[in-house]
Amino acid sequence: MVSIPADHDHDHEHDHEHERAPRQLGASQKISVGKYVTINYTLRTNGQIRHIRSAVWGDEPLMYQQGEGRLLPALERALEGKAEGDQFVVTLPPEEAYGERKKELQQRVPVETFGGVDQVEAGMCFFAESEDGKHVENVIVTEVDEDNGYAVVDTNHPLAGMALEFDVRVVSVRDTKPAPGTGPSDPVLVGMGDGLAVAAARATLASRTKKPAGGEAEPTKDKADVVGNA
């Protein structure tokens, strides 16, 4: 009779355990220059939520290419090395976000400058083109003097002087850009803060109309698609 070692059954069972074990998936790609990344995020200032891009609300994630300069540089640095599924919070001081507020960027302009708007009020947000037509600035009305016919406008970025807290979740990291129509894109949100300004402007002007020379009203043109970096 052939004797069987006492540990033979254990080895046999151990081999089957290896066979049943699922294959280990490859490590997730990490964010680096040139990678195509999609993220969801919540932006807060002073503890208050200012902007959300979340799957909970049915939002498509923001897609960008790392190193392209689409996001704030400090936020890109915080994303560097992160992988799909990672979630983190980063706070950017004003100097790493949209800078401090500058008093010299506030000026008086005639109310007629806002042609087509029936009544200019403090708090309104507009887009103004530079004289050469190459840049678009966010303009916020901070004061209106109807008696003297002028308004005080502030061309500081809406988030200037604020510390920005981003709660970010990395949705995906890819080597190549998704084919058109197969992945989320956002030509408006060139900078996350700019997206907030766009939303504010749309909310303010959505129901207002411009009256051309012919007298018929036409929708106010939205210049959101050409908003650039601050």
Give the start-to-end residue ranges of the domains of the chain: 36-99+161-192, 103-154
| Phi, psi (degrees; rounded to nearest 5) at 197 | -65, -40
Consecutive H or E run containing 63: strand 62-65
Whole-structure pTM value: 0.61
Compute the average pLDDT of residues 132-158: 84
Q: Which of 45-59, 108-122, 192-206 has the highest mean pLDDT?
A: 45-59
Asked if residue 146 has pLDDT above 50, the reply is yes
103-154: CATH class = mainly beta
The DSSP bridge pattern shows strands 87-92 and 164-174 to be antiparallel
The pLDDT assigned to 139 comes to: 83
Can you point out the beta strands (E) in 87-204?
87-92, 106-110, 125-129, 136-145, 150-154, 164-174
Spatial neighbors of 211 by CB under 8 A, at least 6 apart, are 116, 217, 218
Architecture of the domain whose range is 36-99+161-192: Roll (3.10)
- Chain centre distance of CA 145: 34
CA 164/CA 48 separation, integer angstroms: 10
Which comes out higher in pLDDT, residue 135 or 220?
A: 135
* Separation CA 117–CA 211 (nearest Å): 9
pLDDT for the residue 90: 97
- Indicate the pLDDT class of residue 75, thresholds 50, 70 and 90: very high
Q: What is the mean pLDDT of residues 52-59?
A: 88
